Amino acid sequence: MRLNLILVLSIFVCLTFSLAEDQRRPLTRGRRRGVGPKRARKQTYNAVLQQGKMPEGNGQDGSIFIESYKNTKEPKPNYDVTPGKTEHCVFRGITMFDTMVWSPKPCVTCLCSSGEVVCDQIKCPVLRCQLKFQPFGECCPICIDPVLDVPEYSGDSPVPNNPIKLDTEISQRQTDRKERQKKEGEERIRKNDAERKLRKKQKKEEAERKRKSKEEKAAREKEDEQRRLQEEEEEKVAAEERRRRMKEQQRVEEERARRLEMEQREMLRALEEASERAQEERLRGDEATEEEEVVLLRGDVFQMPPAQPTAAPGPPPLPPLQKPSEAGEEEPELGEEEPEHTEMVTTMLPPGCSISDVIITCENAKLTNIPPLSIPELKSLSLQGNEIKTIPAGAFNGIPNLEWIDLGKNKILSSGIDPQAFKGLKFLSRLYLDGNLLEQIPSELPSTLQELKINENNLKEIEENSFEGLSSLVTLEMEGNLLSEGNVNPQAFKPLKELTYLRLSRNYFRTIPQGLPASLQELYLENNRIEEISETAFNDTTNINVVVLQHNKLDESRIAPLAWINQRNLESIDLSHNNFYLVPSFLPKSLVHLVLAGNQIERIPGYVFAHMEPGLEYLYLSYNKLDGEGIEPESFFGTFSTMTELCLDHNELTAVPIGVNEMTALHFLRLNSNKIRHINEDAICDPLNDNDSHLVALRLENNFIDSRKIPPTAFSCVRSYSSVVLKPQRIK
C-alpha cells in the first residue's frame, strides 16, 4: 500500500513538472519572435480561457496580474473580442475592451460589459476522498485517493491503479470545466447584452419622455403667450372703447351744456318779451283811461267806466327777471304818471344761480337767505352749499308748485325753521336737509312728502309725533346723527304706513330699533354699536328684504336662534366687519345673498346652509382666517345647484375647498391671496360632469401655485382660459 502511494505521488510530480515546462516554452518563443507586452497580455488572456487556469496574485493591483500571464500558453481565444469600441473598462489601472474576460485571481472570472466590470467566483465541487491535491494553476483541488477516484484492476499487476487512466480523467475534468466556464461566460454575455438592450430601451424611453415634456412645455408657453396677446388685445380694445365712450360722453355733455345755455337764453328772452308786453299793455291801459276821462268830462254822452277786475291779495310784486350782466342797468323811465306799484310775473335771479326749464340751481352761491322767487311753474329748487340759517314763513309762496327742494350743506338750525315754512307746498315730494345743524325733525311737513333726508345733522331725539301726518313717506334717511334706542320713541314710526327704505347708519344703536313699520323692506344699520339681535327684533317687519349690519359688534353667540330663521322675504344680509369666528347658524330660510367679509371666521359648520329654500346664491367670505381644516365636506351642502358667486380670497386656504367642483351653477370663484400650492385635476371642475362650461371668472393669483404642474383638464369647466387669473404668484 505504501509503495502504491509513493508511485502515484511520483507520477503527479513528473506530470506537474512537464506542464510547467510546456508553459515556459511558448513565452520564450514569443520573446524570440519579438512579441510585445500588449500581444503577450492578449495571448496570455486567451491561454487562460482555453486552459481555465487562474493566476494567483499577491495583493498588489496590476503588477502580479501581468506577471501571471508570462508563463501561459497562447492558444487562439474562444471569445469574440472586438477591440477599439468606445465602451471599455478600467480594472486596476488596466484598460479592458468590451466583452473581454479575465481572471484576476484563482477561482474568479471577470467580464467587461458596456463599461461595467462583472466578476464571478467559481465554486469548487465537494470531494469525497481522503487524499486531495491542487495542481499548479488550478483553482479547485482533485482527489488522488485510488479507492474513490481510480478503478481497481483484478489482475496480477504490481500497481493497483492505472496512472494513464488517472491522467486521462484529469484532462477530461479540465475539459469539462473549460466547457462549463465557456458556457457560463456566454450566458453572462447574453445576460449583459439583454441588460444593455434594456438600458438602451430605458434611455430611449426617457429621451422620448423628455422630448414630449419639452413639446408640452413649448405648447403651454405658446398658449400662454397667445392668451397674453389676446388679453393685451382685449385690453387695448377695452381702452379704446372707454376712450370712445368718454369722448361720446364729453360730446353729449357739451351738447347738453349748449342746449341748456340756449334754453336759458331763450327763457330769458321770452321773459324779457313778456315784461315788455306787460309794460306796453299798461301804457295802452293808461292812455285809454285818459281818453275815457276826457269823454266824461266833455259830457257828450253819459258812459259808465268799465269795471276793473279785482286782483287777489298776494305777495308784493317783484322786479322782472334779467340776465346777470344786465342786473346793474337802470330801468327806462316811464314818466311822472307811472303807478307806484307795478305788477310783475317773474323775478330776477341772484348771482350764481341758473335756470333750466323748471329747475333753478343756486349751489355754492354764498346765499344767506332763501331768494324771493315768483315763478309758479318752478318744480325743483337746489340751494345746496350756501350759508342759509333760517327758513321763514312764506319763503316759498312765489313758487307753490315745488316738488323737490335741496337745502343740504347749509347752517340751518331747528329754531330757525318756522312751523309754517313748508305748509303751502301742496306738491312737495322730496326734501333734502343733509349737512345742517338740526336737532329735531321739522314740524308741519307736507303730507305729500315721499322722501326725507336729514343725514349728517345733530338729531338727538325722535318723539312720538315727529312723523305725524307723513303717511306717504317711502324713504327716510337719518345717518350720522346722535340717535340710539334710548332717545327714539318706539311709537315714532307708527304713522309711516308706506315706509319701505330706512337708513340709520353711523349712529349709536346697541340693538335693533323697536317699533319698525310693517311695510319696511330695507334696513341699513351699519357703523353702529349693535351687540345682539333678539328674538323679537323682526317680528313686525314680515316684509323685510335687506338688512345691512356691517361694522358692528355682533358675534355668532349673540344672535337668537329664532331672530330671523322664519323670515320668508329676507334675501340679503350683510354681516361684514363684525366679530364672527364661524358662519352663524339659524340663518333665514329665504336667504340668497350673505356677506361675512372682514371677520375672524375659521370654520364653516356642516349643513349650515342646508335648510335654505331654494338655496344660497352669493357668499362672500373674503378677508377671514379659513384654512384647510375649517371647511368640512358638508359645509356647502344645500348650495351645489344654486351657488353663483363664491368669494374665498384673502384667507389661509392651502387647497381648493371640498365641494367647489360640485357647484354646477357657479359663475364667479375667487381664491386669490391664499396659500394654495397645488390644483388637483378634479378640485374645481368635475371630470364626470358632461354639462357645458359654467365658470365665467376664476381668480387664483397671489398663491404658491406652479403653473407648470397644473393638470391640463383642471380648468375644463371654465368658459374661456383668458378668464383664469394665475399671475402673479408669491415667491416660495
The rounded distance, in Å, linking the Cα atoms of 333 and 42 is: 144
Nearest to 410 by CA among 383, 382, 387: 387
- Confidence at residue 97, expressed as pLDDT on a 0 to 100 scale: 82
The answer to whether the beta carbons of residues 489 and 462 sit under 8 Å apart is yes
- Confidence at residue 16, expressed as pLDDT on a 0 to 100 scale: 72
The rounded distance, in Å, linking the Cα atoms of 722 and 230 is: 8
Element (H, E) at 245: helix 163-298
Instruction: Domain ranges for the chain, please list them.
Output: 2-201, 352-458
The rounded distance, in Å, linking the Cα atoms of 326 and 192 is: 115
Say which CATH architecture domain 352-458 belongs to. Answer: Alpha-Beta Horseshoe (3.80)
- Confidence at residue 329, expressed as pLDDT on a 0 to 100 scale: 37
CA distances from 713 to 152, 223, 334, 644 (A): 86, 14, 93, 22
- Confidence at residue 163, expressed as pLDDT on a 0 to 100 scale: 54
Question: Alpha carbon 401 to chain centroid distance?
Answer: 55
Nearest to 671 by CA among 724, 611, 722, 616: 724
The answer to whether the beta carbons of residues 65 and 94 sit under 8 Å apart is yes
Q: What is the largest CA-CA distance in the chain?
A: 212
The rounded distance, in Å, linking the Cα atoms of 561 and 565 is: 7
Nearest to 537 by CA among 503, 509, 505, 563: 563
The DSSP call for residue 389 is -
The answer to whether the beta carbons of residues 519 and 498 sit under 8 Å apart is yes
- Residue-wise pLDDT tens digits, 398-408: 999 999 999 99
Which residue do the cell numbers 353729449 mark?
A: 252
The DSSP call for residue 77 is P
- Residue-wise pLDDT tens digits, 40-55: 444 444 443 444 444 4
Strand boundaries in 329-449, DSSP class E: 354-356, 359-361, 380-382, 404-406, 430-432
- Residue-wise pLDDT tens digits, 331-388: 333 333 333 333 333 457 888 898 888 899 999 999 999 998 888 899 999 999 999 9
Q: Which residue type is seen at 401? A: N
Residues of the chain below pLDDT 50: 26-85, 147-161, 289-346
List Cβ neighbours of 530 (8 Å cut-off, separation of 6 or more): 509, 510, 511, 512, 549, 552, 553, 554
Which residue do the cell numbers 350782466 mark?
A: 325
Query: Could you give the angle at which helices 163-298 and 37-51 cross, rounded to 10 degrees?
Result: 110
Q: How many CB atoms within 10 Å of residue 5?
A: 14
